[in-house]
Amino acid sequence: MESFRTPYEKQVGSRKLLVEKDVLELGEKIAAFKDGKISDDKFRSLRLARGVYGQRQLGVQMIRIKLPYGKVTSRQLRRIAQVSEEYSTGRLHITTRQDIQIHFVSLDRTPQLWADLEKDDVTLREACGNTVRNVTASDNAGINPDELFDVTPYAEQVFQYFLRKPFGQELGRKIKIAFSSDDRDDAFTFIHDFGFIPRMEIQNSQEVKGFKVLVGGGLGAQPFLAQVACEFLPATEIIPFIEASVRIFDRYGERNSRNKARMKYLVSKLGLEVFLELVDQERAAVQFDPEKNPLIEVNNFDYQELDPVDINQLFTNDPVYNQWVKTNVFPQKQQGYLAVYVKVPLGDFYTDQARSLAYLLDSLQLTELRFTINQNIQLRGIKPEQLQQVYAQLSVLNLIESGYGGLSDITACPGTDTCNLGIANSTHVALELESFIRTNYPKLIEETGISVKISGCMNSCGQHGLAQIGFHGSSIKTKEGTLPALQVLLGGGKTGSGAGRMAEKVIKVPSKRILKVVQLLLDDFLEFHENEETFNDYFDRRQNGYFYSLLKPLADVENAIPEEYLDWGQNERFATAIGVGECAGVIIDLVATLFSDAEEKWEAATQAFLQGRFADAVYYAYSAGIHAAKAKLIEKGIRCNTQQGILMDFDTHLGADFGFSEMNRFSELILRINKEKASETVAKAYLNEVNEVLTKLKKKHE
């Protein structure tokens, strides 16, 4: 593999050295896996944490490129285009977490692909798997006229801090974090494990920046609304709070049943008050130093003083252009500047378009673009006199569709195109619906109060539970076979300030009848809603049963026609072919594998100690102890489902066998990690004690 380090970057401790270690390790693990030296489960866990995800088609991988809050420079965009063209198919997919995904990549080529991306500081690390995932943020952060302050530096700080942290590598499930720029909550903080909304307080006659903090939200088959952890947390405290919470989740979170392993279940099980008490206790061990992890000013565009701009003064004699301006162009908080939103159907665009967008950024001397959570693109820092040039360039790229954020701006996951868990072809459904709405309801293209979101299955990658009109893939059994179907959900969305509502299931209908479903819903709303009544207000007034009755005739499958046994975009008769999902990573219980993992953790602990990373050394040693104890418990046939449970069970069933007693418990030794900050002295003592225990456990195993 070719080196991607410059002489300067070869300095000890540089980020590039860490990256090269990651990339080389991935290559080594791939070789070991192919030689049968690593189990499939263990290898899957490792590759997922490096952004390498299996897809529906055998022998190829999906690669998720991690882009914090969706930001890319022109240089990075060119690099992503080059990688997609060389290793994939040339198609780029924008996700609802502001990442980019490319598909059909050979596993053997993933290390070099990663190395190429890192030449321009683009990472795959922890883009998938049971890790701290990409940090998302409102796409208008930094330019929002209503924001109290720019949340982007805080999102960047969180992203940088949690990358490669040992306590975030093998969680029970993934952790998702979002920052909203204001109380409108465009980042949907209420469905995240951690959500942050900016606040300001006066303390000692000084303005202090902080956040309203939400915890324990999530979508999926069983959605949870996040709970308010605190109304104001100083901005300097958010990383210690997240770290302490993740450590508690790592220790107390479910490990056996991955369907119950998200942090939302732990918060619900313990209760918010108990969860926060544990977090507060854990903070004694958190070693966050703001001076070593400073805020980075990421919005470095040189804004100048311009005259105010009125959107209405930008109109011309071209009605198509005017509609685009009306729906896709917004004034920034920086006086005289405009943000342009590029609508990208299904979030799919191609390398030639990406390179042209990079050229556009450079030609206008813009520093970045951002991918949005509704799978579109935002350009910022546009001057009014540049707007028609931008429109002309986007027109050449076939990217001037109006209606950003409106009814026809549909969000959809890849579905059965590539996903193992997909039931419905959500991408083709979305294309059909967009065309149907634009043709039959042109006046609603600008309607931003009704969103449509589609997921290929109930797991909510298309965020169907957040939509006023949502659908997820399903099926209906009949005498003649199985019909592809969509579950209809209504009434979801944000209500502001970290609050929201989940869409309610109404009825399941054959997929090929979905256009009629949308027609009935829109016609009914347009005819019977009262003045100023939103779709969700109308849904609340009419109630679920009304819409069930409205759509019930479409659910009758007694006379289903042959065409309805074909999913959208397919020529073959529908059959559910659900594979094994990888979003949750894997859970490994093999004794030998666990001891091997313990040895790897111990090696990482010693390396971290030698490098002066004492907090990391302590956590790696803690993990080694947990893995070894779990191995011994499983060897005895004792079920383990949380790290805390492992410690308690070891005390009860095995402690005496290894020299522990009521006065000297194994759990007390291991849990010293949360008693104080890890200085060199503390770390050295802890590692020595854990090493003695590991030696005993390993000796009895052998």
Residues 547-575 pLDDT 10s = 999 999 999 999 899 998 888 877 778 77
Please, which residues have CB within 8 angstroms of residue 57's CB and are 6 or more apart in sequence? Answer: 104, 418
pLDDT for the residue 163:
94
Give phi and psi for 693, each to the nearest 5.
Answer: -65, -45
pLDDT band at 10 (very low <50, low <70, confident <90, very high): very low
pLDDT of residue 308: 94
Number of domains the chain is built from: 5
Within a domain: 402? no
User: For the residues 253-267, what does the mean pLDDT come to?
Assistant: 91
What's the pLDDT score for residue 422? 65
* DSSP label of 532: T
Render pLDDT for 52-89 as a digit per residue (tens, 0 to 9).
Answer: 887 767 778 999 999 999 999 999 999 999 999 999 99
Residue 399 has φ and ψ, to the nearest 5°, of -130, 45
pLDDT surpasses 50 at 344? yes
Q: Are residues 166 and 93 in the same domain?
A: no
CATH of the domain at 339: 3.90.480.20
CA atoms of 150 and 181, how far apart (whole Å): 7
Q: What angle do CA 234, 237, 240 make, to 5 degrees?
A: 165
Whether the pLDDT of residue 8 is over 90: the answer is: no
Percent of the chain with pLDDT over 70: 94
**Entry pTM:** 0.91
SS3 call for 101: strand
Phi, psi of 395 (to 5 degrees): -65, -40
Chain segment 430-475, per-residue pLDDT in tens: 899 999 999 999 989 888 999 999 998 888 888 999 999 999 988 8
Q: Give the per-residue pLDDT at 459.
A: 81
Tell me, yes or no, whether 569 and 423 share the same domain: yes
HSE toward the beta carbon, residue 435, CA cutoff 13 A: 7
Helix (H) or strand (E) holding 343: none
SS3 category, 392: helix
Domain containing residue 427: CATH number: 3.30.413.10
Instruction: Say yes or no: 170 and 286 in one domain.
Output: yes
Among 533, 560, 582, residue at a domain's last position? 582
Q: Is pLDDT above 50 for 588?
A: no
Quick one: CA torsion of 395, 400, 401, 405, rounded to 10 degrees? Answer: 170
Q: Which residue, 555, 582, 609, sits at the end of a domain? A: 582
Helix axes 680-701, 591-610, angle to 10 degrees: 150
Q: Are residues 227 and 161 in the same domain?
A: yes
The domain of 37 spans 1-125
Query: What's the chain's average pLDDT?
Result: 91
What's the mean pLDDT in 497-519? 96
Same domain? 266 vs 347: no
Of 554, 582, 610, the position where a domain reaches its end is: 582
Rounded CA-CA distance 616/605 in Å is: 7
In a domain, 404, yes or no: no
Residue 383 has pLDDT above 80, yes or no: yes
